[in-house]
Amino acid sequence: MSSLEVRELSVTFGGVRAVDTVTLKAEAGKLTGLIGPNGAGKTTLLDACTGFVPSRGEVRLAGERIDRSPAYRRARRGLIRTFQTLDLFDDLTVGDNVAAGTPPEGRRRWWHQLRSMPSATSAAVREALEAVGLDGCAALFPGQLSQGQRSLVSLARALVARPDVLLLDEPAAGLDSHESDELGERLAAIRDKGTTILLVEHDMGLVLGHCDHVHVLDGGRMLASGTPGQIRENPVVRAAYLGEATEAAEEGIAR
């Protein structure tokens, strides 16, 4: 199992500091939440961790610095992410969309298998689809799925790369409360199989109900960190972000 740690991480766009000397850790084998209002710097932090924007400070994967490595090398070392924009290939089947996320060697094996057995689906693709609850959907096209299901295809595409650390950017977008709770259970199962997860999400029922630890960003800075219970009761967090949503989240957790 691998951990992800950032130390004094900053990202600046022009004169705006989107992430301001943030230090946080996603513990190995844990499901860690990252919450905050719109514009708090959550997605920018994921971009910096994965090498998609320049940053200052340290990014460490399993204790080793990777902040000087390009994005593709970080991915090859096991740091995989999803994006808010799904960018699915609508003219490819769900199975082919997921297969596109395999590492280069695996992708060559996949296309060789596909040429010789057009109806076959690789074991890795089947496993990834089952992990997100889309088993049986490999032959469908993205246009035949709901927006929530399309988001799950993006998650499966990340899982097929067998990440050590998985960064998720609002995977519950488009899901109803029942689907979101199911997603939380599936993420917990993925964690229990050894994948470290850092989850950016606005669904407080999902975050407070399933995460082991939660970090809160506000204005690009770390506002608070703690267990879901500590974050729920933190008066500063409640005033800055959770507010009335806390009551709804607690009701969701009680169910």
Assess if residue 197 is contained within a domain. Answer: no
Residue 105 in this model has a pLDDT that exceeds 70 = no
pLDDT at 120: 35
102-106: average pLDDT: 66
CA distance 119 to 129: 16
pLDDT at 174: 82
CA distance 16 to 27: 30
The CATH number for 89's domain is 3.40.50.300
Assess if residue 250 is contained within a domain. Answer: no
Q: What is the pLDDT of residues 112-131, one digit of tens each?
A: 544 443 333 588 899 999 99
First-last CA distance in the chain: 31
Structural domain boundaries, residue 94: 83-165
207-213: average pLDDT: 96
Assess if residue 47 is contained within a domain. Answer: no
DSSP 116-159: H-TT---HHHHHHHHHTT-TT-TTS-GGGS-HHHHHHHHHHHHH
> Strand runs (DSSP E) across 95-248, as ranges?
165-169, 196-200, 213-218, 221-226
Q: What is the pLDDT of residues 16-74, one digit of tens each?
A: 999 999 999 999 999 999 999 889 999 999 999 999 999 999 999 999 999 999 999 99
Assess if residue 159 is contained within a domain. Answer: yes
Assess if residue 35 is contained within a domain. Answer: no
pLDDT at 253: 40
211-215: average pLDDT: 97
